[in-house]
Amino acid sequence: MNSTHIYVYFNISADFTIIPSQRGGDLLIFNGYRYSKRRLNKNGHVVWRCGRRKICKASLITHQQALIKSEKHSCTSNEVIMKLKLEYRCIERAVKETTPIPSIYSEVVEEFNNAGYDLFEQMPLFDIMKKVLYRRRHQALQTNKTRFLRVQDVKVPGNFEKLVLADYCEDGCRILVFASPKVKKVLSNSNHVFLDGTFKCISPPFTNYTPYM
């Protein structure tokens, strides 16, 4: 499995979930317990160990999306499943959206609280999660950086390069024009183009956003 992708498997009969860990590995969640992958056997069985292995030796075995064996724990289940689901939700949005990372975290926490999960004391702090969220976003956008101080230094992420229609830069001025394939086709057959500039919804270091109509 490629750890750069976000994926979740739901097993209806066993009700376990596999999510990416902060270190790029796999974590399995089952009955409120967290397991880390220990090894992959030649027969395709995956052996998982309780995440609290210093005090618990319980293990679990899966094959593809089926649960084969589950041992009894000597540790007590806690709210780890909710915390990890919150982390996954943040990562999922960070990868799919362009919403600022701090806003995503705040909105997801509020979403969980509104759903009745009062986990404020147990929720991962933003300062702990932000590195993971930014790294996941950078991987999804195929770039190493998304914030720039100067317009001259702005680099269009790999996922958006095909949308660049024009890129003009001279004497500290930068003009980037983006267009989807459909819009490019429309523009190629247009005799008139209407502009509507705005200054309120643009992020630094740019100062003006102008949609073409």
Domain coordinates in residue numbering, the chain: 9-70, 80-134, 148-213
Portion of the chain with pLDDT greater than 70, in percent: 78
Distance CA 90, CA 103 (A): 10
Distance CA 29, CA 62 (A): 12
pLDDT of residue 105: 92
Model-level pTM?
0.51
pLDDT tens digit sequence for 101-113:
999 999 988 887 6
Average pLDDT, the chain: 78
Neighbours of 130 (CB within 10 A): 16
Using DSSP's 3-state secondary structure scheme, residue 34 falls into: strand
- When pLDDT is cut at 50, 70 and 90, the band that residue 124 belongs to is low
Contact 86, 112 (CB under 8 A): yes
pLDDT of residue 160: 83
Query: In the block, which residue shows the tokens 């909105």?
Result: 107
| Helix, strand, coil abundance in the chain, percent, nearest 5 | 30, 25, 45
Neighbours of 168 (CB within 10 A): 9
